[in-house]
Each structure stands twice: as structure tokens, then as C-alpha cells.
């Protein structure tokens, strides 16, 4: 039986209650929207890129604790990353929450490793990954809203 405190770790609860970068960054030049049809999680993610490097990131929206903490920690994690590095982070985060910690190289994920407990709750994977799918859309720049329903 999965343990609840593996899912709702202190770090996650902290970011859920006090999301960081909950703002529209000055000079944002990339923007994407994400929506989880199932539970109504909704995000608009903003990035400011300089020479292919994420200089600032912020978000607006509303959703559950897992979603909010994931978006908050994402905006911290991608700052200073190149587009390539950010996409690599997306790939590894996704591997982590879908239960492939080896592919995720969880030990290198830093704070994001706190989402390891999500894999035991399959219905919550979408909550954790919505912001990341939105990041990918923001980076690819096609501007189409993303949904967790493929």
C-alpha cells in the first residue's frame, strides 16, 4: 500500500501552499496554456528566453496540490537551463512520475525528486506532469493549448 507522506512530502506541501514564481515575468516571450479536462487543473506558463537559455519563468492558474507544487518547482528548476537541458529535464521528470527512476536519474533531479511518490498514484500522474507538458509546448513555441487528454 502506497504511503501518503511519500506523495505529500513537506516540500510539495510547502510549494502547494506558497507557490513560487506565481506571476507573469517581465518581458516574457514564450507562453503556453495547459488544461486537465478531468479535474480542471489549468495553467498558463510564461518563459523569458535569452540566447536559447531560460532566464525567467512564471505561471498562473489553479489546481490541486500536486499540480501547483509541480508548476512551482518547474519554474525554479528551468531557470538558467538551455532549451535542450529543459527538455531533457522534462523527459527525466516524466520518467520519474511514471515509475522509471533509473531512466529519470532521480539522484540528479534535486528537489524534483520529491515527486517520486506520484508513481504509486496513477491517476495523479497527470496532475504532476501538466505543467511540464505545457513547458514543452512553450519551448516548441507553437502556442497551441495543451491538454492532458491525448
Partner 1 sequence: MANVVSIAAAAAASLPWDVEAVRADFPALAQLVNGHPLVYLDNAATAQKPAVLAALENYYQRDCGNIHRSVHQLGERATEAYERARRTAQAFLGAAEPREIVFTRGTTEAINLVAATYGAANLRAGDEILLTGMEHHSNIVPWQLLAERTGARLQVAQVNDRGEVEMEEFERQLSPRTKIAAFGHVSNALGTVNPVAEWTERAHAAGAVVLVDGAQSAPHLPIQVGALGCDFFAFSGHKVFGPTGIGVLWGRAELLEAMPPFQGGGDMIASVSFERTTYNRIPYKFEAGTPHIAGAIGLGAALEYLQTLGMTRAAAYEQELARYGAERLAPLPGVRWIGQARERTAVFSLVIEGVHPHDVATVLDTEGIAVRAGHHCAQPIMDRFGVPATTRASLAFYNTRGEVDRLAEGLEKVRRIFQG
For partner 1, the binding residue among 30, 124, 133, 136 (CB under 8 A) is 124
* Binding of partner 1 by 39 (CB under 8 A): yes
Residue number with CB closer to partner 1 (39 or 53): 39
| Alpha-carbon gap, residue 136 to 31, rounded angstroms | 11
* Binding of partner 1 by 17 (CB under 8 A): yes
* Binding of partner 1 by 38 (CB under 8 A): yes
Span of 45-53, 63-71, 85-93, 101-109 interacting with partner 1 by CB under 8 A: 63-71
For partner 1, the binding residue among 34, 63, 116, 117 (CB under 8 A) is 63
* Binding of partner 1 by 22 (CB under 8 A): no
Span of 27-35, 47-55, 58-66, 101-109 interacting with partner 1 by CB under 8 A: 58-66
How many Å separate Cα 41 from the centre of its chain? 12
* Binding of partner 1 by 43 (CB under 8 A): no
Q: In the chain, which ranges are continuous DSSP H helix? A: 4-7, 10-17, 65-77, 83-97, 101-104, 125-140
Phi-psi region of 68 (alpha: psi -120 to 50; beta: other; left: phi over 0): alpha
Phi-psi region of 21 (alpha: psi -120 to 50; beta: other; left: phi over 0): left
For partner 1, the binding residue among 9, 64, 76, 82 (CB under 8 A) is 64
Q: What is the 3-state secondary structure (H, E, C) of 93-122?
A: HHHHHCCCHHHHCHHHCHHHHHHHHHHHCH
Positions touching partner 1 (CB under 8 A) are 1-2, 4, 7-8, 13, 16-17, 38-40, 62-67, 121, 124, 127
Amino acid at each position: 500500500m502506497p504511503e501518503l507522506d511519500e506523495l505529500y512530502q513537506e516540500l510539495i506541501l510547502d510549494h502547494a501552499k506558497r507557490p513560487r514564481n506565481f506571476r507573469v515575468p517581465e518581458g516574457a516571450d514564450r507562453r503556453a496554456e495547459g488544461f486537465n479536462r478531468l479535474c480542471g487543473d489549468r495553467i498558463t506558463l510564461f518563459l523569458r528566453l535569452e540566447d536559447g537559455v531560460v532566464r525567467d519563468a512564471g505561471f498562473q492558474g489553479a489546481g490541486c496540490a500536486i499540480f501547483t507544487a509541480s508548476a512551482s518547482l518547474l519554474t525554479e528548476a528551468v531557470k538558467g537551463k538551455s532549451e535542450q537541458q529543459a527538455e531533457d529535464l522534462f523527459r527525466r521528470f516524466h520518467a520519474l512520475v511514471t515509475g522509471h527512476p533509473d531512466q529519470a536519474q532521480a539522484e540528479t533531479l534535486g528537489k524534483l525528486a520529491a515527486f517520486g511518490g506520484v508513481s504509486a498514484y496513477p491517476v495523479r500522474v497527470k496532475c504532476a506532469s501538466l505543467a511540464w507538458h505545457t513547458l514543452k509546448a512553450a519551448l516548441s513555441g507553437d502556442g497551441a493549448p495543451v491538454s492532458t487528454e491525448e
